Amino acid sequence: MSTIITSAPALAPASKEPGQGGGVDYLNHETSIASWLLTLDHKRIGILYLVAMSAMFVLGGFYAGLIRAELITPKGDLMSSDFYNKSFTAHGVIMVFFVLIPLVPASLGNFMLPLMIGAKDVAFPRLNLISWYVYMIGAGFTLVALIGGGVDTGWTFYTPLSTTYLNSNVLLTATGLFILGFSSILTGLNFIVTIHRMRCPGMDWFRMPLFVWALYATSVIQLLGTPVIAITLALVGVERLLGVGIFDPRLGGDPILYQHLFWFYSHPAVYIMILPPLGVTNELISTFSRKPIFGYSMMAGASLAIAIFSFIVWAHHMFTSGLSPYAAMFFSLLTFSVAIPSGIKVFTWLATLFRGSISFDSPMLYAYGFIGLFTIGGMTGLFLSTLGTDIHFHDTYFVVAHFHYVMVGGAIVGFMGGLHFIWPKMFGRMYPEFLARMSAILIFVGFNLTFFPQFLVGYLGMPRRYHEYPNEFQVLNVFSTAGATVLGVGYLLPLLYLPWSVFFGEKAGRNPWGATTLDWTHTESPPTPHNFEETPVVTGEPYKYDTLFNKESALAGH
């Protein structure tokens, strides 16, 4: 195999001119608003999702800011306890359902999946667009409920809070989430069929980039888990409207059943959030250390193993809910076992980095941050899956810190890395590298400053979801709020320089990172409307680096 950079254009003569200076690409071949809103192009749909989710992220972040501002002082002086409850519910619902769950699959996944497997589009382009509209309709319902009246149950909607003691906005929110669920199901269905049926000739299962494996595992969870939460929310609505005691013990129902059904989806949902960023990180680590991923098949298998394990550990959220001790022991043990595939991933990354020509480009800075934060998040999960310690930590800030390390430190940081990696492919432009590195560092520092103190304050016993707290917790809370401010600045920078770069950034060229997957070697930046003018035929492994590609690797002496 010759060098990618010289071979790729030679092999793809038909696609030499477009995209490079005035050619036809998917962004400029049609530019009307209607052409965006009615597009069936997976790349444009990915960007529609990106825009919508960025807006939701800003809104969810705004509520996070309110919470942190309230918690600077021990007294509840900024807002009423009721408004505080509504704020953390809004923060949780928006961030979990409208940002984290669709974040990587719907934006980066939509954009990259067909490019990575040599397809012209996903299997069902129209369904893909429909799922974006379903997302927007679900978001509309939910936002009206959250902003209009507010919901105070927390994002978990536990019964009887959501049935017996509720204000009616819970039903509107549940309707929104019910609708939203179909967006997730349709995306998962589309991706599974795409991966099974749309791979180009020669693209065996074990020649697929690892991001594709991660998307596959995620889609399986979306397909199997989401219908259960949909029917659960419908049951909450029915209990409320018809007065049937499905979850209300006074009417013969069982509130624990709600928790079982809720977590049967919502624990796997954690892996819907984290698996795709894990997959993106593979691409980053491999590309920026110029080495194939150590143990490709182990990594692919670990993604599937996590997807399977995710369905049999849900009751670890219910150790204090009156679960039988034998069931609790069983679920504790199963939960520990999730650490095995997660550990495999971390160690294969370390082994990949070892003796690689590693670089410090901004996407890779995010990837380094991701490894560290995901590891801390995962390890503290073990404290919570241990029965004895969970009794102490349950519903404290320790839990809050743990899942923010996984969801923000893991999922969001991984997403940011993936976004900075894919950006030149998306828009054909480079962003200001210095600002990007600044933002990666600010996010890492700000994040740790925000959430590490929460481990401590949780260990000391501060419960979550209260807007007042004893004086002795104030120092740690002030640290946390200060960190959140730094974190906010870190997120603000990309919101400014990324859109700027679309118009004023330096031209990227087809493969600025020297990556070796089809999306970089065989499509323009930005790609042409149908991605590949000629169907590629794959004959080898996904990660095979030309060590002469750039000066860093040349200097490393390979």
Partner 1 sequence: MQVTEKKHAQEAHDDHGHGHELAHHFVSVEQQHDAGNLGMWMFLTTEVLFFGGLFAAYTIYRYKFEKVFEQASNILDPMLGAINTIVLIFSSVTMAFAVRSAQQGKSKAIVAWLGATIVFGALFLGIKYGEWKHDAHLHVFPTSDFNWTWAREKHAEGEHGHGHDSHGPELKGFVFNSPVVPANYIESDSRNPEAKQAKLFFFLYFSMTSLHALHMIIGFGVMAVIMVYAWYGYYTPHYYVPVESVGLYWHFVDLVWIFLFPLLYLLGAHLGAGH
Residues constituting the chain: 558
**What is the closest distance, in whole angstroms, from the C-beta atom of residue 70 to partner 1 in the complex?**
37
Per CB under 8 A, 517 contacts partner 1 = yes
Please report, as a single letter, which amino acid is at residue 347.
F
Nearer to Cu ion, 240 or 267 (CB): 267
CB atoms within 10 A of CB 339: 15
What is residue 58's DSSP assignment? Answer: H
**What is the closest distance, in whole angstroms, from the C-beta atom of residue 270 to Cu ion in the complex?**
6
Backbone angles phi and psi of 334, in degrees to 5: -60, -40
From first CA to last CA, the distance across the chain in angstroms is 17
**What is the closest distance, in whole angstroms, from the C-beta atom of residue 316 to Cu ion in the complex?**
5
DSSP string, 430-484: E--HHHHHHHHHHHHHHHHHHHHHHHHHHHTTPBSS-S---GGGHHHHHHHHHHH
Nearer to partner 1, 152 or 248 (CB): 248
Integer Cα distance of 208 and 99 in angstroms? 27
Nearer to Cu ion, 319 or 447 (CB): 319
Binding residues for partner 1 restricted to 203-262, rule: CB under 8 A: 207, 223-228, 230-232, 235, 238, 242-246, 251-254, 257, 260-261
**What is the closest distance, in whole angstroms, from the C-beta atom of residue 119 to partner 1 in the complex?**
7
Largest CA distance in the chain: 74
**What is the closest distance, in whole angstroms, from the C-beta atom of residue 471 to partner 1 in the complex?**
46
Per CB under 8 A, 554 contacts partner 1 = no
**What is the closest distance, in whole angstroms, from the C-beta atom of residue 258 to partner 1 in the complex?**
10
Nearer to partner 1, 324 or 471 (CB): 324
Q: Which does 267 bind (CB under 5 to 8 A by kind): partner 1, Cu ion, none?
A: Cu ion
Per CB under 8 A, 514 contacts partner 1 = no
Nearer to partner 1, 207 or 345 (CB): 207
Per CB under 8 A, 539 contacts partner 1 = yes
Q: Which of 38, 55, 496, 537 binds partner 1 (CB under 8 A)?
A: 537
**What is the closest distance, in whole angstroms, from the C-beta atom of residue 3 to partner 1 in the complex?**
12
Per CB under 8 A, 192 contacts partner 1 = yes
Whose CA is closest to 92, among 142, 27, 26, 41? Answer: 142
Q: Which does 262 bind (CB under 5 to 8 A by kind): partner 1, Cu ion, none?
A: none
Nearer to partner 1, 546 or 552 (CB): 546
Q: Do 24 and 528 meet the contact criterion of CB atoms below 8 Å apart?
A: yes
Per CB under 8 A, 30 contacts partner 1 = no
Backbone angles phi and psi of 391, in degrees to 5: -60, -40
- 3-state per-residue secondary structure call for 94-154: HHHHHHHHHHHHHHHHHHHHHHHCCCCCCCCHHHHHHHHHHHHHHHHHHHHHHHHHCCCCC
SS3 554: helix
Whose CA is closest to 451, among 415, 479, 470? Answer: 479
CA distance to 42, 124, 128, per residue, from 34 (Å): 16, 20, 16
Nearer to partner 1, 231 or 548 (CB): 231
**What is the closest distance, in whole angstroms, from the C-beta atom of residue 107 to Cu ion in the complex?**
24
Nearer to partner 1, 315 or 376 (CB): 315
**What is the closest distance, in whole angstroms, from the C-beta atom of residue 301 to partner 1 in the complex?**
21
Residues of this chain that interact with Cu ion (CB under 5 A) are 267
Please report, as a single letter, which amino acid is at residue 64.
A
Per CB under 8 A, 327 contacts partner 1 = no
Nearer to Cu ion, 331 or 549 (CB): 331
> Candidates 48-56, 314-322, 472-480, 527-535 — which segment interacts with partner 1 by CB under 8 A?
527-535
CB atoms within 10 A of CB 80: 10
* Residue written as token pair 């619902």: 93
Nearer to partner 1, 175 or 194 (CB): 194
**What is the closest distance, in whole angstroms, from the C-beta atom of residue 168 to partner 1 in the complex?**
17
Binding residues for partner 1 restricted to 432-461, rule: CB under 8 A: none
CB atoms within 10 A of CB 514: 22
**What is the closest distance, in whole angstroms, from the C-beta atom of residue 267 to Cu ion in the complex?**
4
Nearer to Cu ion, 51 or 327 (CB): 327
Contacts 24+ apart (CB under 8 A), 148-154: 150/82, 150/83, 150/86, 150/89, 150/90, 151/86, 151/89, 151/90, 151/93, 152/82, 152/85, 152/86, 152/89, 153/89, 154/85, 154/88, 154/89, 154/92, 154/465
Q: Which does 193 bind (CB under 5 to 8 A by kind): Cu ion, partner 1, none?
A: partner 1
Nearer to partner 1, 2 or 320 (CB): 2
Nearer to partner 1, 195 or 406 (CB): 195
Q: Which does 201 bind (CB under 5 to 8 A by kind): Cu ion, partner 1, none?
A: partner 1
Q: Which does 521 bind (CB under 5 to 8 A by kind): partner 1, Cu ion, none?
A: partner 1
Q: Which does 415 bind (CB under 5 to 8 A by kind): partner 1, Cu ion, none?
A: none
- 268 Cβ contact partners less than 8 Å away, ≥ 6 residues apart: 221, 224, 225, 307, 310, 311, 314
Q: H helices of 144-249, where?
A: 169-197, 210-242
Integer Cα distance of 100 and 228 in angstroms? 19
**What is the closest distance, in whole angstroms, from the C-beta atom of residue 189 to partner 1 in the complex?**
5
**What is the closest distance, in whole angstroms, from the C-beta atom of residue 101 to partner 1 in the complex?**
16
How many chain residues interact with partner 1 (CB under 8 A)?
A: 66
CA distance to 258, 305, 393, per residue, from 327 (Å): 17, 22, 19
Residue of closest CB approach to Cu ion: 267
| Contact set with partner 1 (CB under 8 A) | 1, 4, 8, 11-12, 119-125, 185, 189-190, 192-194, 196-198, 201-202, 207, 223-228, 230-232, 235, 238, 242-246, 251-254, 257, 260-261, 516-518, 521-522, 530, 532-544
